[in-house]
Chain A
Amino acid sequence: DTEVTQTPKHLVMGMTNKKSLKCEQHMGHRAMYWYKQKAKKPPELMFVYSYEKLSINESVPSRFSPECPNSSLLNLHLHALQPEDSALYLCASSTSRTAYGYTFGSGTRLTVV
């Protein structure tokens, strides 16, 4: 299995809702990432997990809460989002060795209404 699977593919949520994004990989990668991407812009790093521990939080607002239950799963819990949080949320994984690139999921298209 050489894929990163993200669910759901699309999500529409109100500003008072609580929802979660899910990411799963079975490549044995020990580094996992959440990125936020606006249209035609580069991905912006949000969080990095290394060996199931949060190693980087790029000053992301607390309405985004990551979780790594095990080495294959990564979740992003969403609460009280704002319309400007609407974006494509990408999960990626990689080996911890710098010589390798990332494997990205297809993303979750999030719309906050």
Chain B
Amino acid sequence: AQSVAQPEDQVNVAEGNPLTVKCTYSVSGNPYLFWYVQYPNRGLQFLLKYITGDNLVKGSYGFEAEFNKSQTSFHLKKPSALVSDSALYFCAVRDSGNAGKSTFGDGTTLTVKP
């Protein structure tokens, strides 16, 4: 069975500093990895994905993620954090079969302080 893990419940950074939100994965076969963001009382919004190709993928709102096959990681990064980036972030892996269902990590709350 496929799974993702987000080892940190909470990440705190100062505005303007770089941020990293960690994710590790376990899949059989090729990984289809995604990051989503959720603001309070809203649904999840797609940020970026890794399917194949370059290990550094760029997404919405200045976010990027680095895929590392040897470490089975897919960490979310941003060079300069904004207060408005404060939200709940989920890493997910999508099954290539099984109706394409996605499995989500437990989520990481990012707080960016002014």
Listed in ascending order, the chain A residues whose CB lies under 8 Å from chain B are: 4, 6, 31, 33, 40-43, 45, 48, 50, 55-56, 88, 90, 92, 94, 96-107, 109
Quick check: A101 and B99 within 8 Å, CB to CB? no
Quick check: A41 and B100 within 8 Å, CB to CB? no
Q: B109 contacts the other chain (Cβ, under 8 Å)?
A: yes
Quick check: B104 and A98 within 8 Å, CB to CB? no
Quick check: B44 and A102 within 8 Å, CB to CB? yes
Q: With CB as the reference atom, state the residue of chain A lying closest to B50.
A: A99
Chain B 79-106, CB-CB to A under 8 Å as 1, else 0, gives 0000000001010001110111110111
Q: With CB as the reference atom, state the residue of chain B lying closest to A56.
A: B99
Quick check: B94 and A98 within 8 Å, CB to CB? yes
**A92-B92 Cα distance, complex, nearest whole Å:** 14
Chain B contributes a number of interface residues (CB within 8 A of A) equal to: 26
Q: With CB as the reference atom, state the residue of chain B lying closest to A100.
A: B49
Q: Which residue of B41, B45, B88, B100 is within 8 Å of A109 (Cβ)?
A: B41
Listed in ascending order, the chain B residues whose CB lies under 8 Å from chain A are: 32, 34, 36, 41-46, 49, 51, 88, 90, 94-96, 98-102, 104-107, 109
Quick check: A42 and B34 within 8 Å, CB to CB? no
Contacts of B101 in A (CB 8 A): 33, 45, 48, 56
**A53-B105 Cα distance, complex, nearest whole Å:** 27
Quick check: A43 and B100 within 8 Å, CB to CB? no
Quick check: A102 and B102 within 8 Å, CB to CB? yes
Given that A33-B101, A101-B34 are contacting pairs, would A107 and B43 also be in contact in the complex, using a CB cutoff of 8 Å? yes
User: What are 30 A-B contacts defined by CB distance under 8 Å?
Assistant: A41-B106, A41-B107, A42-B90, A42-B104, A42-B107, A43-B90, A43-B104, A45-B102, A48-B99, A50-B100, A56-B101, A90-B43, A90-B44, A92-B43, A92-B44, A94-B100, A99-B32, A99-B51, A100-B49, A101-B34, A101-B36, A101-B49, A102-B36, A102-B46, A103-B46, A104-B45, A105-B43, A107-B42, A107-B43, A109-B41
